[in-house]
Amino acid sequence: MSRHHPSPETLMCYAAGSLPEPHSLVIATHLSLCAACRADTAEMDALGGAMLEDLSPTLMEPDARDRLLERLEEPEVPRPAPPPSDPVLPSPLRAYVGRGIDAIAWKKLGRGIEEFRLPIPGGDTYTTRLIRIAAGRDVPSHSHDGDELTLVLAGGFTDGDQNYRRGDLAADADPAVPHRPVADADGACICLIVTEGKLRFSGPLGPLLTYFRG
Ligand SMILES: [Zn+2]
């Protein structure tokens, strides 16, 4: 059971379909692994639909209400489709990766760190990747200023007094505060990471990417 969840605001944006596609994918993958957030999101969907049902048609353009209701019923964002069909990659994520976890062609970055970039729209704004870090590896203390989401898919890591395991979402509460994440010792830690900015590698594992890329 997950212990670190998206904020209610993030879930609201997800339910409304207003998150960028990479972030939607991260949240959809978290929802595949988190019954509590699935229930919260279902409530938000129901509430949003009920609010639209209550709107007086005269307040909206002809057909606008129907279009909005249709959009709620046919979301364009990725949605969870449990049960997971891969031991590591839940269905929404596997659809983007295009293969099972055992078939991924990891690119070695050094020091026990590997990456696989997802072919996901985002252009120069976001980078979406899977990262695999060897058991017990630590990351030098660092700080950063980028917007980033990290979702644990296998293994785990500890950052300060917080431990993150499969299904847990790490978002930057205060990215300026230095931290030093350490991968748990019980196996490789695999994460899905969305980073804002083409060359801005930040977050728990990001500085390593910068280090080994240079
Ligand atoms: Zn959750």
Q: Both 88 and 144 in a single domain?
A: no
Distance from Cα 211 to the centre of ligand 1, integer Å: 32
| 53, pLDDT greater than 50 | yes
Distance from Cα 103 to the centre of ligand 1, integer Å: 28
Among the candidates 66, 96, 126, a domain finishes at 96
Q: Both 83 and 28 in a single domain?
A: yes
Q: Both 104 and 85 in a single domain?
A: no
Q: Both 120 and 209 in a single domain?
A: yes
Q: pLDDT (tens digit, 9 = 90+) per residue, 90-108?
A: 988 998 898 899 999 999 9
Distance from Cα 207 to the centre of ligand 1, integer Å: 27
Distance from Cα 163 to the centre of ligand 1, integer Å: 15
Q: pTM of the predicted model, to two decimals?
A: 0.76
**How many angstroms separate the Cα of 204 from the Cα of each of 6, 119, 151?**
17, 22, 11
200: domain CATH number? 2.60.120.10
Domain assignment of residue 2, yes or no: no
Q: Both 26 and 131 in a single domain?
A: no
Among the candidates 59, 77, 96, a domain finishes at 96
Domain assignment of residue 3, yes or no: no
Domain assignment of residue 30, yes or no: yes
Q: At what angle do helices 8-16 and 35-54 cross, to 10 degrees?
A: 60
Q: At what angle do helices 64-73 and 35-54 cross, to 10 degrees?
A: 170
What residues pack around ion ligand 1 (CB closer than 5 A)? Answer: 2, 5, 34, 37
Among the candidates 71, 96, 121, a domain finishes at 96
Residues sharing a CB contact under 8 Å with residue 197, sequence separation 6 or more, in sequence order: 125, 126, 127, 146
By DSSP bridging, strand 169-171 and strand 148-154 are: antiparallel
Kindly report which listed range (16-20, 26-30, 65-69) carries the lowest average pLDDT score.
65-69
DSSP string for 14-76: HHHT-S-HHHHHHHHHHHHH-HHHHHHHHHHHHHHHHHHHHS-GGGS-TTHHHHHHHHHHS-S
Q: Both 108 and 181 in a single domain?
A: yes
Distance from Cα 4 to the centre of ligand 1, integer Å: 7
Distance from Cα 14 to the centre of ligand 1, integer Å: 13
| 8, pLDDT greater than 50 | yes
Q: Both 63 and 156 in a single domain?
A: no
Residue 17 contacts residue 73 (beta carbons within 8 Å): no
Q: pLDDT (tens digit, 9 = 90+) per residue, 148-200?
A: 789 999 999 998 889 999 999 998 656 566 667 889 999 999 999 888 764 44
Domain range enclosing 20 = 8-96
Q: At what angle do helices 8-16 and 21-33 cross, to 10 degrees?
A: 110
Residue 188 contacts residue 154 (beta carbons within 8 Å): yes
| 142, pLDDT greater than 60 | no
